Amino acid sequence: MNKFYTTLLAATMSATALGMVFPAVAIAESVLRIDEVAVGELDPAKASDYADSILMFNVYDTLILPQQGGPGQVPHLAKSWSSDGNSYTFELRDDVKFQSGNPMTAEDVVFSLDRMKALGQGLSFLFADVQSAEALGPNTVRFNLAQPYAPFVASLLRLPIVDKQTVMANLGDGEGEMKDWGQVYLSANGAGTGAYMVNAHNPQDETVMVKNGDYFIGVPDVAPHTVRLRYGLEAATVRALIASGEHDISSQWLPPEVLRALADDGAQLLTEAGTGAFYVKMNTTKAPFDDVHCRLAVTNAFDYGAAVKMIAVTDEISQGSPSTGAVPVGMFGANPADQILVRDMEAAKAHLSACAYAPEDINIELSWIAEVPLEERFALLMQANFAELGISSEIRKLPWALFTEQVSTPENTPDISQLFVNAVTGDPDTLLFGQYNSANAGTWQSPEYLKDDEVDRLLAEGRTAPTEAGRQEAYAALNARLMAIAPTIYGFDRQSVFAASNRVKVPALSDPDKAFGLDGMGFSFRLMEMTE
């Protein structure tokens, strides 16, 4: 065994389940070509959606990683951790360098947390209860929490560690000692320890990444040398490119029939088991959906069975499974898989009769995301469903960038928005808190603008309960409450399906024993194998 693979294997055994050993087959300058929905946010403190996650998981590293093929977390930048009440202490590796060449230390971890909290964007809400982080030595860091937070360790999957020295040397205009905290610089450049380095970045067009030859546990020769992540490709373009051998992995947003046609032409179908769902969100701040009975009317009128049929790719593979409620099956608080939601027109009409608004006076704005053409079909389905109640509607196509801008104010938010939302740490707290906590209203995840004291209380219980039984009880009650007040139509539990060329092998998206319980982690490029 050569020195490279001896080093890689040792690192694998001591640090992480991610360091897979591939056959030593050199693939010179291989290029992996993939696509996702724009915009690609490179600043890790602002990362929140799928494209952002792909960038974050490859350019940056975190203290821990999800266990491959099972639940839980394993060490990565950290060697170990312990907890004492509301304090968590992590011992860090001493052999990690940033892509700049600077060594990674506890000071960088403290800086990364402080920066995320100061910016208050992306997934910063995960760390709202962290009072402080302190470096106890070069390789020891302690997090001090204000109160118990059950999924704290899991939340660290979304704390990418940034190079403090590099950021401090590139502060932009702003007030105070930290000016802009390096936002301008990190919007176009990487400052991580990750297995891939940013070569070029245009958030609307393409990000080009290249292999980091100094990665602390090595990158196998068979992993792609260069990755070209393109944004906003049309479904027809992706189909043509894959069919002609000029593209390797599609986004998850291709319509089912396009995926089916590509599979018939010999493409692979890769899957990522979902930790989220398809949500149809109602603006609760204005008529007609400020009335709970009107919300329940359309919730009962929605044809759940038809929606599930619309996402079938083949007889064996689908982009989702029937919903049982607000919490996806398999998570704390979920209803059993056999209690699927079904259409009930009698209940819909009963609720409509109790609504403060007459159906003939209602005209709903049904929006769909331009980069996700499947959503247009759901908009048409809802238009037909609601018409049976005498409710008219207008369908509006919104580019993602415009949608996220509009939902920042309730008066500009569409009556109905369609979104796929995931648990960004694999824990229900990071699926539900960002959507339904009243303090988060007006983000892309929460266009309902829901303000409900009972929901807020149960969300808090779910994240602070000291036992799994307590968390299960809190999320079950939350599920019931959300179903009762109906801010959202819970369309289906999602599964991502990607079409791929046969030039690439992706064990994390094709072998359940190598899968992760975290959306986007399957796109860790160093775990992929280019075959030609």
Find the CATH number of the domain harbouring 375. Answer: 3.10.105.10
In a domain, 374, yes or no: yes
* pTM confidence score: 0.85
Does residue 513 form part of some domain?
yes
Residue 192 shares a structural domain with residue 134: yes
Residues 144 and 24 in one domain: yes
Q: What are phi and psi of 448, to 5 degrees?
A: -70, -25
Residues 187 and 163 placed together within one structural domain of the fold:
yes
220 & 121 share domain = yes
Residue 132 belongs to what domain range? 3-234+501-530
Q: What is the pLDDT of residue 4?
A: 29
In the chain, what's the furthest Cα-to-Cα distance? 76
295 and 413 in one domain?
Answer: yes
Task: Give rounded-to-5 percent helix, strand, coil for the chain.
Answer: 35, 20, 45
Decide the pairing of beta strands 64-66 and 31-36: unpaired
106 shares its domain with 68? yes
Exposure string of 224-234, with b = 16+ CB inside 10 Å and e = fewer, is: bbbbbbbbbbe
DSSP string, 450-482: ---HHHHHHHHHHHH-SSHHHHHHHHHHHHHHH
What backbone torsions phi and psi does residue 161 show, to the nearest 5 degrees? -90, 120
Query: Got the DSSP string for 245-309?
Result: TS--B--TTS-HHHHHHHHHTT-EEEEEEEEEEEEEEE-TTSTTTTSHHHHHHHHHHS-HHHHHH
Q: Tell me whether residue 246 is in a domain.
A: no
Query: Mean pLDDT for each 10-residue chunk of the chain (532 residues)?
Result: 32 39 54 93 93 96 94 95 95 98 98 97 91 98 95 96 98 96 98 98 96 97 98 94 96 94 96 91 98 98 97 95 94 93 98 98 97 94 98 97 95 97 90 93 94 97 92 97 98 96 97 92 97 86
**pLDDT for 51:** 94
What CA–CA distance (Å, rounded) separates 304 from 340? 9
Mark whether 61 and 101 lie in a shared domain.
yes
pLDDT at 70: 85
The end-to-end CA distance of the chain, in Å, is 24
In a domain, 265, yes or no: no
Amino acid at residue number 70: G
Residues 324 and 375 in one domain: yes
Element (H, E) at 229: strand 226-231
* Domain identity same for 88 and 226: yes
Does 123 fall in a domain? yes
Alpha helices in 37-193 (DSSP H): 50-59, 106-119, 152-155, 164-168, 183-186
